[in-house]
Amino acid sequence: RRKRRAQVVFASRCKRSRQSPTPPAPAQMAGKRKEAAESGGSGKKAKKATGAEPAELEEHDFLDDGADDEDDEEEEEQIHEGGEEEDEDEGEEVEAPKRIWRPGVDGMGDGEQLEPEPGTYDMLHRAQVEWPCLSIDILRDELGAQRTTYPMTAYVVAGTQAKQTSDNRIYMMKWSNLYKTLKDGKDSDDDDDDEEDDEDCDEDHEAKLESKGVAHPGGVNRVRSMPQAPHIIATWADTGSVHMWNLQSLRKALDKSAEKPSLAQKPIYTSAAHNDEGFALDFNPHETGRFLSGGNDGKIFLWDPVQGGWNVGADAPFAGHTGSVEDVQWKKLGAGSESTFASCSSDRSWRVWDIREKSRTKSAVHVPDAHSADVNVLSWSPSVAELLVTGSDDGGFKIWDTRHITAGPMANFLWHRKPITSVDWHPSDETVLAVASEDNSISLWDMAVEDDRAEGTEEVPGEAHFPAQLLFLHMGQQDPKELRWHPQLPSVCISTAGSGFNIFKTCNI
């Protein structure tokens, strides 16, 4: 197994500012920043994200984090340890000893704010729509697999959690003109000629967000796109119903501006078979149209496609959990993957089910007390068939080999300080995964890393706080809810939070 140098690359630094620690909304952003807030209703409040007020404008644009603040004369205090050295300041100022800033441990003083550290991202863009989105999914496209050239393009679907029920939307979005992060390491006092050239370059390289939306009956707890037909969208509504949508007209309109899709579309199928709302949804990647839904009522329904809709197995649910079903996912590869799925629950357990088993109360694998608190999310490995990662309210995530459950988890990381809200394995790197947490951070991990420093090597102050397997810590989003690796853009990650969307590629993956 390969080794990768144990290095923590921070996506943030502390900047001492004479201004308010909260930055003003960027000029090119058409919407105001939304703040996350808990909402009522059944289900876990920790998973809800609702906005305060809608944006005043209807257009949505990206904020390119490569752009430097103009005329910035603020004094900076560098407390970051990364992979690149900063240029020495002019004059005779004495540089303070460097240390690694530890989120959740080290505080920030008045007038300080987190900013991306130049060089840590190959690409970073941020965007917003009118209301925060609790869930996103990536739409597969026909632009090619494993695309590594810039600018990049991604298609995304998201569902909102608006203050008023009638304001909720499903958004089909096209994110294009995604260039590499610009101006890394450039000083703010460059010559005027250079600044003019940069402004011209920025206009050519400005990222674009195009969106088409349809009204949704209630807030969207979870949204999923069918892998075989990405325009078929499933949504879990906070009203307790699961809806199926055909949004082909919206998807086509993203590429052909002349087309005007109907904005009054209705679901092509709706099921109210669950007794409560929920969050667990997944399309089968092997069998077109086959689908799972899991609710706060503790039941999991298997949806089989039939002429004109689906046959929802409400009369024969998979019933084994004693708490709400928080997540479900079909197995991605290996023997029997087309008929095998995993589920996790607020009862602190996770299970593996085989739909060929006649008894719907008998799971193939059951791990009670898998975590010390609710198990919120899970993800099957797309590279190693039997590996599964789970994330919990206790802030920890664990990796399991479903063939050797009695041995316990293969890895157990209790590093985040608040509940885990999303986990996802890297599509092609079998040892890399991403984890989102309510502590306002997204961490990228490589399980193959070993601490290969020579014995006696002096540590940078604060370094001991970080495990060797932690590759990157992405910060800046408030209340992260869900993340996804893009299956066609290698090592590109997309995340949604109460404060908006991020799409990024780090320098070390």
Cα–Cα distance for residue pair 8/36, rounded to 1 Å = 28
Work out whether the CA dihedral 452, 407, 390, 284 comes out positive or negative.
positive
For 140, other C-beta atoms within 10 Å of its C-beta total: 17
Calculate the average pLDDT of the chain: 82
pLDDT in tens, the chain (509 residues): 333 433 444 444 343 333 333 333 332 333 332 333 333 333 453 444 434 334 333 345 566 554 444 444 333 333 333 344 444 445 555 555 666 777 777 777 888 777 777 789 999 999 999 999 999 999 999 999 999 999 999 999 999 999 999 999 999 999 999 999 865 444 444 445 455 555 555 567 889 999 999 999 999 999 999 999 999 999 999 999 999 999 999 999 999 877 788 778 999 999 999 999 999 999 999 999 999 999 999 999 999 999 999 999 999 999 999 999 999 999 999 999 999 999 999 999 999 999 999 999 999 999 999 999 999 999 999 999 999 999 999 999 999 999 999 999 999 999 999 999 999 999 999 999 999 999 999 999 999 998 777 677 777 777 778 899 999 999 989 999 999 999 999 999 999 999 999 999 999 99
Instruction: Name the one residue in this structure whose structure tokens are 């810590």.
Output: 473
Specify the pLDDT at position 102.
78
Q: Which of 123, 36, 115, 127 has the alpha carbon at shortest distance from 480? A: 36
Identity of the residue numbered 395 = G
pLDDT tens digit string along 217-246? 999 999 999 999 999 999 999 999 999 999
Q: Give the predicted TM-score (pTM) of the model.
A: 0.82
C-beta of residue 289 within 8 angstroms of C-beta of residue 274: no
Specify the pLDDT at position 248.
95
Q: Which of 410, 414, 356 has the alpha carbon at shortest distance from 387? A: 410
Distances in Å between the alpha carbon of 354 and those of 237, 311, 317, 318, 360? 27, 18, 13, 10, 9
Q: In sequence order, what are the beta bridge partners of 330?
A: 341
Instruction: Name the one residue in this structure whose structure tokens are 């298997």.
Output: 302
